[in-house]
Structure 1
């Protein structure tokens, strides 16, 4: 009996493991459209709060999403998106989420640059793809790649030292969402949660005086910048965490 049970368990593992691997790497059908911009890059006014970073990150291969926005936790996620028309390549475009947007039953509203990337490298094929306006696509989540780039902590221009602090993480490599942010309260000897204001931005109206230690939950792990924000941290400044994510 025991041998039979062990055989059954082994059989389940052999059957389920390939299925799980396939599920993780498989594509999901959807639809995509595009938005115009003067230089075909992203927009600095996206709902994720990235500012200029949201316009140029991934060399402008960016997108607004609807259900994948996930109340802002989807900001910064990267996807491979490929269309299914004859004018499309098999590779498609690799894009980063920098905005929220809804279209005609679309999951993706791509920058012009990203939409064009899905087409075969031929002007006529590209024009045909743009003529559709909305196309059937398939997509999958992929790790973000920022070779040699440290995680950066950007202090929002709305911050006011010492009464209000709002921050956004930039260059979050890997395949995990930024779930939470906390700061160290020295007098209480505990980590205090920051509020997700909107998109990728976290804030607190009671930042500690002096050096400010932060930590961020990325997926199931906490990421600790190697240095505290200086006591004279400034609105609009960007601080290097000295940490690289995989």
Structure 2
């Protein structure tokens, strides 16, 4: 199964001091702002390399993060974010997916306008947007993508058969991807891919034929390897996403 996505690469970046935070047993106190967007969705030019997927995934409830970006390891993580403005904020807050890097005024999150608005009580979104920056509390939550397995998207900058770059999409659970390796059949060994940036992994001169991958995942079960045999076909094409049949949880 394949989906084509459009890609761009730039950073959502707001210069600031590092956030001052305090911790409780269950959540973290911080601040959140939002970025300008004419359609209130995410941006296809995020630092995670998700492209169009990063604009609309999770109903466009997405965010750029600074400290939580962790050199790209934090890409694809999900968080519940709840604002603390008096009489304006709902009890539920909003669930967001990390798709970008962004710094603000002592913030941990730069939300899409849609996500920022959804922290508000009914009919209070305009008042909340007027704050610009708001106190929040947040905590990590599992990502859930009903009907989707983990997918490997072949990056548009890939050049068959000499250069392969992939992006991992629909990363469920509370997992972080630490490493990606390709099986080299003629050498009978796994070859490590390079994290180019964000969630994009690449390799010059990839193995010929169907490509099997394994990914190192850090999650609730600790650090484990998950294997996807023949995850990418021998005639792979740039811009296409291939179903791994893997369900992370």
* TM, length-normalised to structure 2: 0.86
Where structure 1 has 5 or more consecutive residues not aligned to the other structure, the ranges are 1-22
More helix by share: 1
**Aligned-pair CA distance for 1:25:** 6.5
**Aligned-pair CA distance for 1:228:** 3.4
Q: What corresponds to 1:240 in structure 2? A: 243
Using the alignment, how far apart are the partners of 1:134 and 1:228 within structure 2? 43
Helix, strand or coil for the counterpart of 2:195?
Answer: strand
Using the alignment, how far apart are the partners of 2:68 and 2:134 within structure 1? 18
Encode CA deviations 1:72-118: one digit per residue, 9 max, x unaligned: 00000000000111200111010000000111111100000000010
Using the alignment, how far apart are the partners of 1:102 and 1:228 within structure 2? 36
Q: What corresponds to 1:159 in structure 2? A: 158
**Aligned-pair CA distance for 1:135:** 0.4
Using the alignment, how far apart are the partners of 2:24 and 2:245 within structure 1? 31
Using the alignment, how far apart are the partners of 2:119 and 2:33 within structure 1? 11
Contact 2:194–2:201, Cα closer than 8 Å, also in 1: yes
Contact 1:226–1:243, Cα closer than 8 Å, also in 2: no
**Aligned-pair CA distance for 1:227:** 3.1
More RCO (CA 8 Å, sep 6+): 2
Q: What corresponds to 2:98 in structure 1? A: 97
Contact 2:58–2:97, Cα closer than 8 Å, also in 1: yes
Matched, 1:231 2:234: yes
**Aligned-pair CA distance for 1:151:** 1.1
Encode CA deviations 1:178-217: one digit per residue, 9 max, x unaligned: 1110000112111111000000000001201111111111
**Aligned-pair CA distance for 1:31:** 0.4
Structure 1 ranges of 4+ moved more than 4 A:
none
Distance 1:25 1:237, change over 3 A: farther
Matched, 1:85 2:88: no
* TM, length-normalised to structure 1: 0.87
Superposition pairs of residues 42-61 of structure 1, within 5 angstroms? 42-61=42-61
- The alignment covers a number of residue pairs equal to 222
Distance 1:49 1:25, change over 3 A: farther
Using the alignment, how far apart are the partners of 1:193 and 1:24 within structure 2? 38
Contact 1:226–1:242, Cα closer than 8 Å, also in 2: no
